[in-house]
Amino acid sequence: MLVVDLGLGLVLLGLVARMLGSARRFEMVVLYITFGVTMSLTWVRLHATDLALVEAAIGAGLTGALLLDTLGRLEAGQRGVEPDQIDADQIDADPNEADLNKADKGDAT
């Protein structure tokens, strides 16, 4: 079982390194949620099931959902769109890319 423990440790370190090295906010949030789930598995391996449940519920679940909601609202605010009108595919869209698409269609202002 030492291999599993070492594997979990390496996965956690890899997730942190990738999270800190990412330039995309959506990817950072997804990696944060993945880190929380992996950390809860680590707590289970350490026989701390109470901490594992808290980590999964609050660390990965609730905090991850709040971060995703906040990210969606930030992205909507940058585009001048109401948060309720957000399409999930547009969350990580580059605002400059959207302007280029408008220019290609002749809709640029």
Domain ranges of the chain: 2-105
44, 7, 16, 97 alpha-carbon torsion, rounded to 10°: -110
Q: Is residue 61 a contact partner of residue 29, using CB atoms and an 8 Å limit?
A: no
Neighbours of 45 (CB within 10 A): 14
Per-residue pLDDT in tens (0 to 9) along the chain, 109 residues: 799 999 999 999 999 999 999 999 999 999 999 999 999 999 999 999 999 999 999 989 999 999 999 999 988 877 766 656 666 666 665 656 655 555 555 655 5
Residues 108 and 91: their CA atoms lie apart, in Å, by 21
Q: State residue 59's pLDDT score.
A: 87
Q: State residue 87's pLDDT score.
A: 64
Residues 91 and 67: their CA atoms lie apart, in Å, by 12
Q: State residue 75's pLDDT score.
A: 83
